[in-house]
Structure 1
Amino acid sequence: MKATQIIPVLRIFDYQKTIEFYVDWLGFEVVWEHYFEKNTPVYMEVKKENMVFHLSEHHGDGTPGTRVMVFGEGIPAYHKELIDKKYKYNRPGLEKTFYGTVSFTVNDPFGNTITFNEEFDEEKHKDLEFSSIH
């Protein structure tokens, strides 16, 4: 078996806070939204480049407190982009992890966490300043 895509489903509880966090701060775009009828919970897909998340207000779709690990490139630049936005509720530190990555973690308004990782490279990352908080 070869997976072609894995899409985590994260539980959300408030549409406006979802847009503020995922779209306005993290820079995702809403690809689509689905409602079974008027005044029912939303199920949506958000995307940033090749990262895709499904976000659901439906009871039973995902559990609050889910952790997602994202591995990629450009993590320090993305971290700086987010810090420069001065988002009121998240100011994550950049860390060098015990598992050999440059990393930062964000916490969404619903208790979910997303950790962004890039493989640590001594030369490439030599000038980065890391947070001492663990």
Structure 2
Amino acid sequence: MVIPILRMFDREKTYAFYVDYLGFALEWEHRFDEGMPVYAELCLGGNVIHLSEHHGDATPGSAVRIGMNGLEDFLERLRGRDYPFMNPKIEQAPWGMKELTVMDPSSNRIVFYEETGE
């Protein structure tokens, strides 16, 4: 299994984006000591990502692609949630996939995609 690590700067805003808005489940958090940076694991439909406040773990502005079925249903769930910072749409890519792109609070790009065969 490949698990991407994404940098985060504001844990509260990042969790509001991934957990409250996108629907990821927070599986665990780790700190070496009180007041130290957080390292966390989140899951969505069998997909796993790690988020880190640690300097050097990842670069802000990274990109991750997450395959899924039911992309249009996913978009409808997002539109039903109270998150005023994002208004995603589905686009048909010329390589035969539907894609929905969002940006997290640390400028990481998350592309959810579904193969269409077109």
TM-score, with structure 1 as normaliser: 0.84
Distance 2:44 2:24 in 1: 5
SS at 1:64's partner residue?
Answer: coil
Match of 2:65 in 1: 69
Deviations 1:4-58, CA, capped at 9 Å, x for gaps:
x110000000110111001100111110100000001000001112010000000
Supply the distance in 2 between the matched residues of 1:79 and 1:99 (Cα, whole angstroms): 20
CA contact (8 A) 1:101 1:118 kept: yes
Runs (4+) of structure 1 exceeding 3 A deviation are none
Give unpaired runs (5+ residues) of structure 1: 123-134
Q: Please, which runs of 5 or more residues in structure 2 have no aligned partner? A: none
The percent identity for this pair of structures is 44
Question: Which structure exhibits the higher relative contact order, with contacts defined as CA atoms closer than 8 Å and separated by 6 or more residues?
Answer: 2
- Tell me the equivalent position of 2:103: 107
SS in 2 for 1:10: strand
CA RMSD of aligned residues (A): 1.1
| TM-score, length-scaled by structure 2 | 0.95
* 1:60 corresponds to 2:60: no
**In proportion to residue count, which structure has more strand?**
2
The number of aligned residues is 118
Equivalent residue letter for 1:29: A
Partner of 1:36: 32
